[in-house]
Structure 1
């Protein structure tokens, strides 16, 4: 796990996505050490300490949104490989899986479940198990992820209350954990997911993305980006979904085989007519996001670090 937020001089949490690489004036939300933005092409973008890393960061024991940018369910390499083989040979064909092919790790992780109606009993993929192989629809993905997002929020809030009650020495860490989690959650809730169809002189492209600004401004930027690669660009907005910033990275995971890189631009896709129809249907099947009171409170709160 990597540190994705630093604190500016006003106490505001700033995402790694909003800074350029190199030394920054930001500080670690846990220990106040100066941070450097690491934004290379191999490792995930993150903040690193300018000097010795503090304990919370060295252990990687700080909160991240479940199933947001990691869809391997923290499986070992061996279990992940087995899961993908089982999907290819059985799950994708709706075949049941013999118990002697199933490892205990996949069962404990909740990725496979026994179907007691078969004789002899056999196993099948759960919705959670379909996520690492990108087989779960966007609608069902939300149904799996959203309860986990709120469950983790509740756990962090309870940890803070417990630390306060006990006057625990790690109260500051607990408060920072909660603030970092809320900042991440606020970021995805404040975003609108969009899907574009782009007619160029070389054919049709599609783009997925998120924005916190009016979609027309984002479309204008996309048109400018593509102008360097195509003689003509005509963009049509096929759909927008408020508060669905959580879906963008899973979409990229689910449809990675159709990804079409254009220079340094990576969020574009090439679908044939039938595939494009299926993708749009996948998106439109998502239920409108209805914010609960906790989520509304998070959106209204300033994104600040813990008070000293």
Structure 2
């Protein structure tokens, strides 16, 4: 995992997706050194120190220990590649058919991770968590799994800061930086609304998923402009808008990746044989009611 946030001169955190490639006026949360935005086509976009990388960030890159949102942009639940493929095969042959899984096919680590649960002495079933790597968990249930994990990680980081403060530990500023990075990520998904658009273009019909903090009319205008670079007759209709649901966008793309419909370099479009199934999935989500903790995160407290 790479460093994805820097501190602007205003004191606010800025993400790698908010800046252009090259040297910036952003500084490292951990050492105060200036950062350069690395946005190439091979490695994941990230910040690097303009001069020498500080020891703390260098260690974090090696250990993949930067704070991140649980189940936000990585859905393999820390499974090695071979085990992930095995799990997918198991889902296809048993889970998708709602068949009981024989014990001799179960990797014990999957049970320890909570991916499978026992239905008897020798048979198993996929849990809600276990369905996430294979994209089989409905959006409503995904929220129920992820949201407690989001807040649990926040409380863990806050507790870590409190311990360092009360004990006078030298790592206090590092732990504060971790908490600031995490709260910034949490705030970003909470302030975003998820939208689902129908796009009709030159007799074709496809759909777009995305998030925005602006008025949806502005985003629709931009989508029309983007699609018109590839089609002449374009109409865009809003099929749904869900406030504070920025956490769902990437899981939606993971769940429905088989229906991805690329338009040039545009990647957030999908073509479905029956969009009613997808709409039922989206509208199955409960309206997001922000807790006091989440309201504090939005306020930047």
TM-score range for the pair, normalised by the shorter chain length? over 0.9
- More off after superposition, 13-22 vs 135-144: 13-22
- Give the Cα separation in 1 of the matches to 2:78 and 2:105: 20
Where do 5+ consecutive residues of structure 1 fail to align?
A: 303-308
- Give the Cα separation in 1 of the matches to 2:56 and 2:107: 33
- Give the Cα separation in 1 of the matches to 2:214 and 2:277: 27
The CA deviation string for residues 58-116 of structure 1, in whole angstroms up to 9 with x for no partner, is 22322100000000001112221211111111111111111111111211111111112
Instruction: Name the structure, 1 or 2, with higher relative contact order (CA <8 Å, separation 6+).
Output: 1
> After superposition, where does 1:183-222 map in structure 2 within 5 Å?
183-222=184-223
Q: Measure how far apart 1:24 and its partner are.
A: 1.5
The residue that corresponds to 1:180 in the other structure is 181
How well do the aligned residues superpose, as a CA RMSD in angstroms? 1.2
Q: Decide whether the 8 Å contact of 1:202 with 1:230 is kept in 2.
A: no
Q: Measure how far apart 1:50 and its partner are.
A: 2.3
TM-score of the aligned structures, taking structure 1 as reference length = 0.94
Query: What secondary structure does 1:164 align onto?
Result: helix
Q: Measure how far apart 1:51 and its partner are.
A: 3.1
> After superposition, where does 1:69-218 map in structure 2 within 5 Å?
69-116=73-120, 121-218=122-219
- More off after superposition, 246-255 vs 198-207: 198-207
TM-score of the aligned structures, taking structure 2 as reference length = 0.96
1:42–1:91 CA distance, 2 compared to 1 (3 A): farther
Query: What secondary structure does 1:206 align onto?
Result: strand
> After superposition, where does 1:1-308 map in structure 2 within 5 Å?
1-58=1-58, 59=60, 60-116=64-120, 121-272=122-273, 274=274, 276-301=275-300
After superposing on structure 2, the runs of 4+ consecutive aligned residues of structure 1 that deviate more than 4 Å are none
Aligned residues: 297
- Give the Cα separation in 2 of the matches to 1:135 and 1:184: 25
The CA deviation string for residues 143-176 of structure 1, in whole angstroms up to 9 with x for no partner, is 0000000000000110010000000000001111
1:56–1:286 CA distance, 2 compared to 1 (3 A): farther
- Give the Cα separation in 1 of the matches to 2:91 and 2:23: 44
- Give the Cα separation in 1 of the matches to 2:124 and 2:116: 6
Query: What secondary structure does 2:124 align onto?
Result: strand
